[in-house]
Structure 1
Amino acid sequence: MTKNIIGLEQAAKYISERNYVKAHQACVNVIEQHGHHPHAYFLLGIIHIEIGQIEKAIKLLERANSLVARPICYAYLAKCYALKGDMQLALEMAKQAPVDSLERALDLDTVGVSLSRVGLHEQAADYFKRALHFAPDNAQFHYNYAVSAKFAGQFKTARKHFEIAIENAPNFYQAYFALSDLGHHENQQTHLARLVSLSSQLVNHPEGRLHIGHALAKEYEALGSYDKAFNALTHAKLPQRQRSENALRDYQSIFEILHMQLGKHGDISGVENNAPIFVVGMPRSGTTLVERILSHHSHVASGGELQDFGVAVKETVNTQSQRVLDAKTLTCAYKSNMGVIGQRYIERTAFLRAHSPRFVDKLPFNFFYIDLIRRALPKAKVICLQRDAMDTCVGNFRQLFSIHSPYYAYAYDLGTIGRFYQHFNNWVGAFSAQHPDAIYMQSYERLVSHPESEVKALLAYCDLPWEEQCLSVEENRLPVSTASKVQVREPINTRSVGRWRHYQAHTLALQALLDNG
């Protein structure tokens, strides 16, 4: 279809060189000279994916498919919807690009990553394996396969492919961190030496510095060298400190709006649907553990960290800002039709109810939306985790969250984390005091110390019958794509309680801040 049209070959070449302006012009020239050519629209869709204009990319790929439907177009539509967080449409598009219909390694990897993003790691594995059949030395493909395997609990496979990625790309810093995140190295000293060497090479590379610094911290922690671990974290995060301060200022304006709206009467004519169970709280507070408990129940499906409520709000108010959550969007949301927001959320999550009447949405930052959830989905259950403030804040500092997510931008400075925690705690406390029936406050420490009584109470709140299997989270075989992917495959235990004390000498300012808060 494309070999006789020089302009398409030029466009593909320009895309590979990241010269998207020339690539775009080459595609436009083809359409002007040859009419509505499906591959020209396909390449235009790829260009818009690369520059982050996902909605435009979807329209162009759909245009290409309307001319000639091809699995390759569906593959990239799956990527687009996965990037948007629309799990249902991502899955539908991936089904139109079966593994044996794709012959290019990049296209196979694209579908694999899309399926991995929506939590379908077993299906993703087939695409990754076929991609590696065509491109056995591609470090990125090995890394992508390993990440998916790690989320699926296949740690041996993950470790193997992270190592192969490093063999093929010795400076692949994400793979080094991923190996440290798995823990239990057979050659720990060798791995530590690799990290120390790479750390000096990446001092002026902010992203690499973060990954290797966090990897070093994990290795030092495993050796009991907590001073070295803390110093590695501090060094890694230092260039990001201003970013944390900027993020906190943005969050402060959001918290102010939430408190201001809390006492006001507004639209509460939401959707009477009891399917969703929201698990919210600060990151590293136990939200994944509660999700694993609930999703082990026979009536409950796991949605993971869904973006759908925030997206439903954003789509309803249609503000022009690039972020899903900001002060203007939140202000407009309170003036919106709550039924529309609730119905859009229910529509976006319909696929989760295919086999179970209830599902868990465990995006921690949905705590920003708990009042809107009360209005838009009055029958939904909301569980908020509360964990010791020091354990929570130090846990946030120790964790390498998604670097490109604006949600986590506060987490590069310990003092900023402490102030963010105070805002969170004040907000959920105020909401709980005013609407005690709309939220269930779950203590992490009580849960891990007295699991049977706490889980029984938790299930009762969710209107779920008692099932003893909910206590055995280590037997829950569903994938985990959060920072707790290794820990939650163990039985419920108290080992993380008081872990912050390893860093007590380095956290005096944080202790004083929280004590006076």
Structure 2
Amino acid sequence: MTKPIGDKLRQIQQLIQQASFNQAEALVSELLSTPQSSGNQQELHYLSAVSQRYRGAKAEAHESLRKLLHLNPQHARAYQEQGYLYQSAGDNYAATKAFYQATRINPALLGSWKTLVTLYQGAGQRQASELARQHIGKLEQLPRPLLGATDLMYDGKLMQAEQLCRQFLLKHKHHVEAMCLLAEIGLRLKIYDDAEFLLESCVELAPDNVSARTQYLNLLLRTGKYAKAEQQARWLLEREPDNSAHNISLAAALVGLGDNEQGIALYQCELDKVSQPANVYLQLGHAQKAVGQFDAAVTSYQNAYQNKEGFGDAYWSLANTKTYRFSDEEVRTMQLRAADEQASVEDRIHLYFSLGKAFEDKKEYQQAFEYYASGNALKQQQSGYDPDKTTQMVDAQIKHCTTELFEKRGHLGATHPDPIFIVGLPRAGSTLLEQILASHSQVDGTMELHNILGLAMRLRGRNASQAPAYPANLWEIKDEYFARFGQQFIDNTRSYRGAAPFFIDKMPNNFLHIGLIKLILPNAKIIDARRHPMACGFSGFKQLFGEGQDFSYSLEAMGRYYKDYVRLMAHWDKVLPGQILRVQHEELLEDTEGQIRRMLDFCGLPFEPGCLEFYRTKRSIKTPSSEQVRQPVNKRSAMHWRHFEPYLQPLKDALGEPLLAEYRQFEQL
């Protein structure tokens, strides 16, 4: 009987511990000669490098690590191994860089930190050595299970880290550091509700623990809960009024709440107070861009990269304005930095996407595509997106959210008519639809709210070894829960609204949960923003998203996701007839007034001329299309994907001819 791969990996580890290096490496070679998952390949190359280093085969070890870092440029222990190799060769400068990179990726690597202390001392870098000692002290104060869980978390082994942390908390129920760590793991798993509950509990248990409260504040900012975030930032500032980090967090909360003037002023006040202002310039630029201060935003982004060499996010933020054109000097700088293997993976990803935009603007489409493809390849390595899981989620919605479910339980939710949900795929024109509707006197535009996704995650359950409870449990949960969930949505989104009777939630991924939405808010309006699959697919592929759109980093995955989306929307049309309005982007471009009137009729709103002049509406817009929707409708980009058509065959193949044929009528624009 063949041993499971886990047993064989443990056998290799034992052989290395027994100094049976040749046997260990032979087993590695045998396993690598057969198909293995990316994770198993990484582990095998790592073990091979360790064995080769121990037996003195330094060149072979470097080659194993090169293969490993090609598979995963964020593998902390690969850099640690490089550090040991360079150190044994007497190259302390290269060793220091490698160990430092290892600790940047995984701050729980005690071995790297301890070696860095020695290397820093040898180089006369007393301040760096002392900082490393302080970090070692913090790690060594952690209980061993928490240190192990921290290490696992930074290694990306989140389920193992969570299990270890929960086991510790069973014996130490109110251990604040353990609760904070579990919250951080939850955040990385995107289980935001669990993380928020844990951190809220930490703040109640240890109100003076600044670290826990700061972590709670950062989570609130990340999930868009700006009213709560403002409260926490002001609490921290009462105790530490000169703390720039707290002031910067307060500025982010204020901008999120729409108090842009005060938020921008706060950012500007902090610029001269921080030693490294690049990130402050970046956030300032985002705030200025959101309110339409385009020239000021550009200056802020330029200041950001001038204060931090090779700052990829600053260059990408310039590209992401959609209207900025890079100078030849900026392009050369980006190319040099993107080619530097010592640059961080995050910087290189941002730079690749920025260079794609730069060469697209030059109409050098092949080179532009090559840069987009490089950025997407690195990003896909990080995300580990599995298209099969999306297909399974769609299958589950179709199986359980039937006509019978809505006949039986569709009347139980909260009756508020306030929400207008705009769903679909990113880059399908949802920001334009929101801007049009938000130009109506009775409608508030908000943002992409996480509330429905958070509720769906709660309903799915936390047992990773079992099938998700949701959506099957929509048949089973108590009747009164539907109205309760609907009311919670109304209450929790109140802080994002003004005084208008209706408001918009334009989280595109909510198309997966239309059944849940209609059960908890049966009177909510739902608009499906639809765009030609090739135009939408390529536009998503060349967009570097903040988070949550991991399917977009592969043309094949993008095509499969689009097909699953169309399949699920067809199901919603069948089981919820007449309750979803589809707005085809190309039809909106052809007959803008007709489509606007159609949307207003669907929402029960009287026509207002201001909706036709939506580009004059002053409001904060945080999506990549912010500058585009401040201009009248134009058809310039409708078929822009045609310039890249020679490189898009994987997208076409994944979509399939039958689906593409349905949209051919829109290719004549």
Q: Do both proteins adopt the same fold according to a TM-score greater than 0.5, normalized to the shorter chain?
A: yes
The aligned residue for residue 281 of structure 1 is 424
In structure 2, C-alpha distance between the alignment counterparts of 1:180 and 1:481, rounded to whole Å: 15
Offset of residue 279 of structure 1:
0.3
Task: Give the TM-score normalised by structure 2.
Answer: 0.66
- Is the partner of 1:265 in helix, strand or coil? helix
Offset of residue 285 of structure 1:
0.4
The aligned residue for residue 308 of structure 1 is 451
In structure 1, C-alpha distance between the alignment counterparts of 2:393 and 2:618, rounded to whole Å: 37
Cα deviations by residue, 1:227-268 (Å, 9 ceiling, x for unpaired): 111111112222444667743122111001011023252322
Which amino acid letter does the alignment assign opposite residue 59 of structure 1? S
Among 193, 196, 199, the residue aligned to 1:57? 199
Cα deviations by residue, 1:117-138 (Å, 9 ceiling, x for unpaired): 5555433213312222322642
Cα deviations by residue, 1:315-364 (Å, 9 ceiling, x for unpaired): 4x372269xxx944433345333223212211211234551111000000
The aligned residue for residue 153 of structure 1 is 292
Q: How many residues align?
A: 482
Q: Is 1:236 matched up with 2:379?
A: no
Identity of aligned residues (%): 23
In structure 2, C-alpha distance between the alignment counterparts of 1:184 and 1:257, rounded to whole Å: 41
Offset of residue 393 of structure 1:
0.7
Offset of residue 491 of structure 1:
1.4
Cα deviations by residue, 1:363-410 (Å, 9 ceiling, x for unpaired): 0001011111111111000000111111011111111112xx3x3111
5 Å matches for 1:37-116?
52=187, 53-65=195-207, 77-94=216-233, 102-116=241-255
The aligned residue for residue 358 of structure 1 is 502
Offset of residue 314 of structure 1:
3.8
Q: Is 1:485 matched up with 2:626?
A: yes
Higher RCO, 1 vs 2 (CA within 8 Å, ≥6 residues apart): 1
Among 444, 449, 458, the residue aligned to 2:590? 449
Identify if the C-alpha distance between structure 1 residues 86 and 232 changes in structure 2 by more than 3 Å, giving closer, same or farther: same
In structure 2, C-alpha distance between the alignment counterparts of 1:184 and 1:318, rounded to whole Å: 41
Cα deviations by residue, 1:460-501 (Å, 9 ceiling, x for unpaired): 111111111112222122111112122112112222211111
The aligned residue for residue 320 of structure 1 is 462
Contact 2:237 2:247 in 1 (8 A): no
5 Å matches for 1:266-415?
266=405, 267-268=409-410, 269-315=412-458, 317=459, 319-320=461-462, 327-336=468-477, 337-402=481-546, 405=547, 407-415=548-556
Between stretches 251-260 and 13-22, larger displacement belongs to: 13-22
Which amino acid letter does the alignment assign opposite residue 319 of structure 1? G
In structure 2, C-alpha distance between the alignment counterparts of 1:23 and 1:471, rounded to whole Å: 62
Identify if the C-alpha distance between structure 1 residues 473 and 203 changes in structure 2 by more than 3 Å, giving closer, same or farther: farther
Cα deviations by residue, 1:272-322 (Å, 9 ceiling, x for unpaired): 01000000001110111001111111111112100112223444x372269
The aligned residue for residue 8 of structure 1 is none
Which amino acid letter does the alignment assign opposite residue 270 of structure 2? A
In structure 2, C-alpha distance between the alignment counterparts of 1:121 and 1:49, rounded to whole Å: 30
Contact 1:122 1:152 in 2 (8 A): no
Identify if the C-alpha distance between structure 1 residues 123 and 250 changes in structure 2 by more than 3 Å, giving closer, same or farther: farther
- Is the partner of 1:134 in helix, strand or coil? coil
Which amino acid letter does the alignment assign opposite residue 396 of structure 1? G
In structure 1, C-alpha distance between the alignment counterparts of 2:561 and 2:463, rounded to whole Å: 23
The aligned residue for residue 320 of structure 2 is 181
Unpaired runs of 5+ residues, structure 1, are 1-12, 26-40
- Is the partner of 1:477 in helix, strand or coil? coil
Between stretches 220-229 and 487-496, larger displacement belongs to: 487-496
| RMSD value, Cα | 3.3
The aligned residue for residue 391 of structure 2 is 252
The aligned residue for residue 6 of structure 1 is none
Among 419, 433, 441, the residue aligned to 2:560? 419
Contact 1:243 1:409 in 2 (8 A): no
In structure 1, C-alpha distance between the alignment counterparts of 2:561 and 2:181, rounded to whole Å: 38
Cα deviations by residue, 1:413-441 (Å, 9 ceiling, x for unpaired): 11110111001011102211332221111
Task: Give the TM-score normalised by structure 1.
Answer: 0.84
Contact 2:237 2:243 in 1 (8 A): no
- Is the partner of 1:496 in helix, strand or coil? coil
Identify if the C-alpha distance between structure 1 residues 382 and 231 changes in structure 2 by more than 3 Å, giving closer, same or farther: same
The aligned residue for residue 7 of structure 1 is none
The aligned residue for residue 115 of structure 2 is none
- Is the partner of 1:410 in helix, strand or coil? helix
Which amino acid letter does the alignment assign opposite residue 437 of structure 2? L
The aligned residue for residue 577 of structure 2 is 436
- Is the partner of 2:596 in helix, strand or coil? helix
- Is the partner of 2:420 in helix, strand or coil? strand
Between stretches 95-104 and 349-358, larger displacement belongs to: 95-104
Offset of residue 63 of structure 1:
4.0
5 Å matches for 1:159-238?
159-182=298-321, 188-202=327-341, 205-238=344-377
In structure 1, C-alpha distance between the alignment counterparts of 2:356 and 2:470, rounded to whole Å: 38
Which amino acid letter does the alignment assign opposite residue 436 of structure 2? I
5 Å matches for 1:127-142?
127-135=266-274, 137-142=276-281
The aligned residue for residue 33 of structure 1 is none
